[in-house]
Structure 1
Amino acid sequence: MKTIRYDIADGIATITFDEPDSPVNTMCLQWQQDMTELAERVLQDREAIRGIVLASNKTSFFAGADLKGTMRLKPEDAAEVYRGIERVKKNFRTLETLGKPVVACLNGSALGGGWEVALIAHHRVAVDDPKIQFGTPEVNLGLIPGASGITKMTRLLGLMGAQPCIMEAKLFDPREGLAIGVVHELVPDAGSLRAAALAWIDAHPQSQQPWDDKNYRIPGGTPDSPRLAGMLSVAPAMLRQKTRGLYPAPEYALACMVEGALVDFDTALRIESRYLARLIVSPVAKNMINTFFFDMNAIKSGRSRPKDVPKYRPRKVGILGAGMMGGGIAYAQASRGIETVLRDVTQEKAELGKAYSTKVTQPRVDKGRMNAGEQQALVARITATESLKALEGCELIIEAVFENRELKARVTREAEPLLAEGGFFASNTSTLPITGLAKASARPRKFVGIHFFSPVDKMKLVEIIRGEQTDDETIARAFDYVQALGKTPIVVNDSRGFFTSRVFGTFVMEGAAMVSEGIPAAVVEQAGLQAGMPVGPLAVLDETALSLSVHVLDQTRADLRAEGGTYIATPGELLVERMVKEFDRNGRAAGGGFYEYPADGRKFLWPKLKELFEKPDAAWDMQELKDRLLYRQSVETARCLAEGVLTTVHDANIGSIFGIGFPGWTGGALQFIYGMGIDVFLHRAEVLASKYGPGFVLAPRVKEAIRRHEPKWDAPPAP
């Protein structure tokens, strides 16, 4: 066996998982073959075995499924996948029904398939370390725990108790596992695991899984019990409302839990296998695995960060502008132990920005998740000031003032000389090109864009923008700074609107264009929601302010005029301009835009939209509207890739999902293309371009860039 070591000494069979040339253990094809051989050997040695210990030779216990192998699966592979899953479960059952005590020594994390390996054991001993995580997060990757995880967790915790673990992917540390009863014993360190395992084996010479006892009952009852039946009758509808039918994994998981709880254990396992086999070859699962596992890990591991630059750890950072954005950045820094100087033009405004940290943390204090002392210590890390001199010695200064080029230039010239030696300066602009802003800097090589999203305390993504002169060291330090905040950085090159704002603009303006065509505003909003966007395009325009969109439009016109060109506004931009300049509808903060916002009720669409813009004879098809909203964003993302604004697919996918809310089921704006198939996407884009104009046109160099960057999942060498 190549991935498993098997030894017997003094009646103890030690099974050590140790996949060669890999930092973790996975359910790769070789491991599956080795497990079959292992099961046969254990059966042969049955009389010599008095106990089994499951262990790992990695820093973690077991990582889970071989996701690269999953990416190579095709729909026609479903039947073979089912047979493979059933073989894995048969081998699991061989170990756990041997009649001998089985103990899992959990030296590190066990997630997904790794936790299912741990569930083979009758007794689980874990190192008492809060950094260790257990659980079944498969739904976050478009999958379900299909190697007995649903069946076993439901029988251990009951339908209601298992629901957060299975359907919400809730993870737990060893102490939390002990509290809910799925971890049985804690030890102080990995060196103590084996002794604890042997002691339990000695005390339990015969053992079985609880569900193998004919008298065992599922905690909380079965689905046909009156209390559960009522809740379960509405659960599918509530789930469909949440997923909008775009995410099959939670729906499959719920069906698996309920159907499995109505039958015997072995039948429940087969039900689980069938659901997983169908799901694992689906496009949605591949899209989500690609992005939420591989692309996210590419960013976490620093693939977008320039190499050969020493790691940077921020200690003192200054912020210019204490509005909502500046106050949010100050909180993000202080919550991570970074000394923060928050400067505004008056002490009063600076103090208001500092008070944002108290506002954000107070609910946690009220719920007992943070004590008053911790809150005070966090807020104390922020120095609110009207003095420029207080910024002296900051390693990084970030300007977060209003989107006005002259104002940004002035504060840059004022504050930059106060940087510590070797420090760098950043702009939090969301649209203005960094190269232009860097003209106000005495050191443009040390000038970078760091674009936070609002609200900063909730939004995990940060867009780092490289200007024409920004050097690698500055990009690397900006990357490290963002990761030090616990946020996810993407790196893009300079352009108007960069990546996220530019693509976001296509979404909202395509929605506005639909309104200009006479399509009812409510239909436009529904198209966004049914496509999987978090909110409709008109609601987003209101939140970000129609007046801001018009300000950006005016600035773009002026900039291109200065360069000797002319900007041709899109139909959506012209409609938004009319909303602001003709009807004084500036957005939510100004009292109303596409929506009305009554003080004592829910928002509703502005009634005059109907008489101003709707056309009774306007024809529309919901699928086409959804396609327009998604394709328009993907086309613009592909253009960014071709122009060099984006240099990697992983930055594009992660940025589109976490920055602008592109639907997670697609895997992101570029994975939407690859998941659908490049040729299929290009053909549909051509059809849309013929109807709705140049926003959907893909130039030859854009098509070439799409093909050149397509992810490859090459088959592994034969074992």
Structure 2
Amino acid sequence: MTQYFTVESTSDHIRILRMGSPDKPVTVLGEPLLRELNDLVDELSDDKEVQGLVIIGAKKDFALGADINDISQFDTPEETRDGALKMQGILNKLEKLPFPTVAAIDGQCLGGGLELTLACQWRIVTETSTLALPEIQLGLIPGGGGTQRLPRLIGIQDALDLILTGKRVSGKKAVKLGLADACVHPTQLERVALQYATKNKDKKLMALNAKSLSKDLPRWAAEHTPIGRAFVEKKAREMVEDNTKGFYPAPFKALDAVFDGFEKKLEKGLELEAKLFSELAHTRESKSLVHLFHATTAAKRNAYADAGKAKFGDKVPEQVGVVGSGFMGAGIATVLADKNVRVLLSDPNKDSTKRALTSAYKFFAKKAKRGRIKPFELSQKMAHISPGLNTQGFGSADVVIEAVFEDLGLKQEILAQVESRAHESLVFASNTSALPIGKIAAKSKHPERVLGMHFFSPVEKMPLLEIIVTDKTADWAVDRAFRLGQKMGKQIIVVKDSPGFYTTRALAFFMAEAALILEEGSNIEEIDEALTDFGFPVGPITLMDEVGIDVGIHVLESMTEAFGDRIKTPAGLDSVQQSGRLGRKNGKGFFTYEGGKKGKPDESIYDMMGQTRQYKFLPAEDIADRCVYVFINETIRCLEEGILLSAYDGDIGAVFGLGFPPFLGGPLRYVDHLGAENVYNTLKSLEERYGARFSPPALLKKHVDAGTRFFPDEK
């Protein structure tokens, strides 16, 4: 009795295996499915009547890879290696079947699913299929033969492009690479696969053998001679070092597996792959990235869906009003138009609106140039944006997003204008980064329809959306914002209303600490380098210039008003602002700028930060500790106060919105890694030296006393 495979047979003795997980909407290659596949392959090997085999997905997607939970169950690298070897053994049996084998691929074919197809002689894909080896994004390498079979099939350089990035390729691209043998319409997939099941071909993995490469001698020389491979490997390692800055071990292990394995017979290469895979599975980096995978998966569940469905069914907002065509408003409108949402863009400043439309056009033109959209789609995308000088036509919008300057009175005025024309289910969202939503909604006629949608700059690139809800916000209104955020492709967290919410509050404490260290005597480069060496993409001083010095100071003032002496900001920042410095946007900040490019630190900043300031060396570790621990402390406090609804949300917000190093998993996962007691003791030490902002929260002390973790189910 098969559970994961339905077995069929044609009149000419071709077996069809329809693969699908019975208890899940998608197919994953968990241990039970692989065990069943192993038994079926053994039966097929002994059946003398079988003339060919087709493996096809029984669900929308072919397979989404191995079950990450199975991997997490292994306690030691040795157990993990044995698990990888068992999967490899099953696929080796599939590869050695004495008749043609065909993988018929539609939808997503990822990770272990793609490795399964590589063990087949033929791969037929559809125009709607997507193929990838995304293990690198979990701090792993393919463990089911991907680092060995793929380079032998399509060549080392093309294989590395997929293995090192986890990039997804379409069916047509897969054929072009040599990864697939034919690309067909989904309705023709099974018919064509059955035709291929009658064809024999040399089962050696030599699609890029010397004969075919003779048409491309430079590539042949680079991949099929020891000197050429050594050169390619050297360049690949340099690229990986530049891209990862040494924080991620998986890309280096991938290079070891590919280049060392290519020199060996397939069997020995697979053993090497299993060994390297098992070593990575037990690293802090991989565990942290797997943690983020679980966190983002959990965050996709819309807790407000029932309330929205009761009112609107499954309907997603189709028309959105955006008030303000500045940098943020323009970005929001562009992303909405890109997702085919109709946008009403309002701004009394015609020049600002013109710049917004120009920015959107450049965004879509770049996508067209890269082949991500058809040329004719550029005009279609632009047609989704309808500019105007006021909110006159906003009465038909499903959601209105206000993205104007951080002025409470102005935001309240815009809300009143929108409400005067709104229908009964229109949701008003403010893109404020710090003002409490409750204050914005204080004069609202319908506060249950008001919430925050905090986007991050640039909106076109930054993945996070922070939805802020008050005690009065209706669940159906949150659902509207959540569905719209999902439509925009954003990673979403929902937080409770408070000054700075979560992300702005944590970031404010982080940047304020860096500014204090600057005022105390450390140099700009030392501060930035300490945090980039820790793993942040940019240092906090650079970040102030990127955010805008005026915006940063406004936020710090708001935080000071809310938290008093718990947040300490240097007086010297006022002098910096009064000098007319706004940061990158006016080419004048903590750094010098020429032609829009950041240069060296502006030495005059040191005088502005205090006439009596003298250079004082502070070790990089101490700089990083002060900035990181104050960040961690506020994250824990936000969870303790109920601003964060889950620990997962704290890590998602920090990593996807604020640049906290992904290889550490987020501030709360990092606490679990260090140990709550160690973090508590460090905070106490910092509190004694620097003050109340480092005072450990009661929630952290609770974990210390109980010996518990923020994520007790994770190893």
Q: TM-score, normalised by structure 1?
A: 0.89
Equivalent residue, structure 1, for 2:660: 662
Select between 421-430 and 352-361 the one with higher mean Cα deviation. 352-361
Of 146, 165, 179, the match for 1:168: 165
Structure 1 residues 510 and 306 mapped into 2: Cα distance closer, same or farther (>3 Å)?
Answer: farther
Structure 1 residues 702 and 28 mapped into 2: Cα distance closer, same or farther (>3 Å)?
Answer: same
Q: Conserved in 1, the CA contact under 8 Å of 2:109 and 2:130?
A: yes
Structure 1 residues 40 and 177 mapped into 2: Cα distance closer, same or farther (>3 Å)?
Answer: same
- Does residue 383 of structure 1 match 2:386? yes
Q: Conserved in 2, the CA contact under 8 Å of 1:133 and 1:172?
A: yes
Equivalent residue, structure 2, for 1:264: 265
Correspondences of 1:286-325 after superposition (within 5 Å): 286-291=287-292, 293-303=293-303, 307=307, 309=309, 310-325=313-328
Select between 432-441 and 322-331 the one with higher mean Cα deviation. 322-331
Of 169, 176, 180, the match for 2:177: 180
Equivalent residue, structure 2, for 1:244: 245
Equivalent residue, structure 1, for 2:29: 27
Correspondences of 1:484-523 after superposition (within 5 Å): 484-523=487-526
Shift of 1:630: 2.9
In 2, Cα distance between the equivalents of 1:367 and 1:510? 42
- Does residue 598 of structure 1 match 2:594? yes
RMSD of aligned residue pairs (Cα, Å)? 3.0
Of 150, 153, 176, the match for 1:153: 150
Map Cα deviations across residues 196-225 of structure 1 (whole Å, 9 max, x no partner).
333223232x65232499988987343754
Equivalent residue, structure 2, for 1:399: 402
Q: Conserved in 2, the CA contact under 8 Å of 1:595 and 1:605?
A: yes
Equivalent residue, structure 1, for 2:345: 342
Structure 1 residues 35 and 714 mapped into 2: Cα distance closer, same or farther (>3 Å)?
Answer: farther
In 2, Cα distance between the equivalents of 1:101 and 1:339? 50
1:643 maps to a residue whose letter is: E
2:431 maps to a residue whose letter is: N
1:593 maps to a residue whose letter is: G
Q: Look up the SS of the partner of 1:89 in the other structure.
A: helix
Equivalent residue, structure 1, for 2:108: 109
Structure 1 residues 703 and 39 mapped into 2: Cα distance closer, same or farther (>3 Å)?
Answer: farther
Equivalent residue, structure 2, for 1:210: 205
Structure 1 residues 239 and 348 mapped into 2: Cα distance closer, same or farther (>3 Å)?
Answer: closer
1:143 maps to a residue whose letter is: L
Equivalent residue, structure 2, for 1:545: 548
1:651 maps to a residue whose letter is: D
In 2, Cα distance between the equivalents of 1:593 and 1:328? 24
In 1, Cα distance between the equivalents of 2:305 and 2:591? 42
Select between 314-323 and 161-170 the one with higher mean Cα deviation. 314-323
Equivalent residue, structure 1, for 2:584: 588
Equivalent residue, structure 2, for 1:643: 641
Shift of 1:493: 0.5
Shift of 1:456: 1.7
In 2, Cα distance between the equivalents of 1:213 and 1:169? 22
Structure 1 residues 625 and 42 mapped into 2: Cα distance closer, same or farther (>3 Å)?
Answer: farther
Select between 678-687 and 249-258 the one with higher mean Cα deviation. 678-687
Of 131, 135, 138, the match for 1:138: 135
Shift of 1:53: 2.6
Equivalent residue, structure 1, for 2:216: none
In 1, Cα distance between the equivalents of 2:155 and 2:468? 49
Q: Look up the SS of the partner of 2:555 in the other structure.
A: helix
Map Cα deviations across residues 687-712 of structure 1 (whole Å, 9 max, x no partner).
44444433333222344489888335
In 1, Cα distance between the equivalents of 2:674 and 2:3? 37
Equivalent residue, structure 1, for 2:60: 59
Equivalent residue, structure 2, for 1:447: 450
Correspondences of 1:17-96 after superposition (within 5 Å): 17-43=19-45, 45=46, 47-74=48-75, 77-96=76-95
1:182 maps to a residue whose letter is: L
Q: Conserved in 2, the CA contact under 8 Å of 1:73 and 1:281?
A: no
1:382 maps to a residue whose letter is: I
Structure 1 residues 551 and 34 mapped into 2: Cα distance closer, same or farther (>3 Å)?
Answer: same
1:298 maps to a residue whose letter is: A
Shift of 1:526: 0.9
Q: Look up the SS of the partner of 1:413 in the other structure.
A: helix
Structure 1 residues 627 and 20 mapped into 2: Cα distance closer, same or farther (>3 Å)?
Answer: farther
Shift of 1:166: 0.5
Structure 1 residues 695 and 68 mapped into 2: Cα distance closer, same or farther (>3 Å)?
Answer: farther
Map Cα deviations across residues 106-135 of structure 1 (whole Å, 9 max, x no partner).
243210011111111001122x242x2111
1:166 maps to a residue whose letter is: I
In 2, Cα distance between the equivalents of 1:415 and 1:573? 39
Equivalent residue, structure 2, for 1:281: 282
Shift of 1:481: 1.6
Map Cα deviations across residues 158-188 of structure 1 (whole Å, 9 max, x no partner).
1111122110111112222112111112343
Shift of 1:153: 0.9
In 1, Cα distance between the equivalents of 2:305 and 2:406? 27
Structure 1 residues 194 and 231 mapped into 2: Cα distance closer, same or farther (>3 Å)?
Answer: closer
Identity %: 27
Q: Look up the SS of the partner of 1:26 in the other structure.
A: coil
Q: Look up the SS of the partner of 1:383 in the other structure.
A: strand
Shift of 1:556: 4.8
1:27 maps to a residue whose letter is: L
Structure 1 residues 516 and 213 mapped into 2: Cα distance closer, same or farther (>3 Å)?
Answer: closer
Q: Conserved in 2, the CA contact under 8 Å of 1:223 and 1:232?
A: no
Map Cα deviations across residues 430-454 of structure 1 (whole Å, 9 max, x no partner).
1000001101311111111111112
Q: Look up the SS of the partner of 1:125 in the other structure.
A: strand
Q: Structure 2: any 5+ residue segments left out of the alignment?
A: 214-218
Shift of 1:659: 1.0
Q: Look up the SS of the partner of 2:155 in the other structure.
A: helix
Q: Conserved in 1, the CA contact under 8 Å of 2:147 and 2:273?
A: yes
Q: Structure 1: any 5+ residue segments left out of the alignment?
A: 561-565
Q: Look up the SS of the partner of 2:250 in the other structure.
A: helix
Shift of 1:469: 1.1
2:256 maps to a residue whose letter is: A
Structure 1 residues 18 and 353 mapped into 2: Cα distance closer, same or farther (>3 Å)?
Answer: closer
Q: Conserved in 2, the CA contact under 8 Å of 1:531 and 1:630?
A: no
Equivalent residue, structure 2, for 1:671: 669
- Does residue 97 of structure 1 match 2:96? yes
Shift of 1:228: 4.2
Equivalent residue, structure 2, for 1:710: 710
Map Cα deviations across residues 267-304 of structure 1 (whole Å, 9 max, x no partner).
2111111110100122211211121x222222233246
Select between 695-704 and 531-540 the one with higher mean Cα deviation. 695-704
Structure 1 residues 301 and 175 mapped into 2: Cα distance closer, same or farther (>3 Å)?
Answer: farther
Q: Look up the SS of the partner of 2:336 in the other structure.
A: helix
Q: Conserved in 2, the CA contact under 8 Å of 1:53 and 1:102?
A: yes
In 2, Cα distance between the equivalents of 1:250 and 1:223? 22
Q: Look up the SS of the partner of 1:389 in the other structure.
A: coil
Q: TM-score, normalised by structure 2?
A: 0.90
Select between 423-432 and 411-420 the one with higher mean Cα deviation. 411-420
Map Cα deviations across residues 464-511 of structure 1 (whole Å, 9 max, x no partner).
110221111111111112222232322111010111111111222222
In 2, Cα distance between the equivalents of 1:367 and 1:509? 40
Q: Conserved in 1, the CA contact under 8 Å of 2:54 and 2:197?
A: no
Equivalent residue, structure 2, for 1:563: none
Q: Conserved in 1, the CA contact under 8 Å of 2:53 and 2:99?
A: yes
Structure 1 residues 197 and 237 mapped into 2: Cα distance closer, same or farther (>3 Å)?
Answer: closer
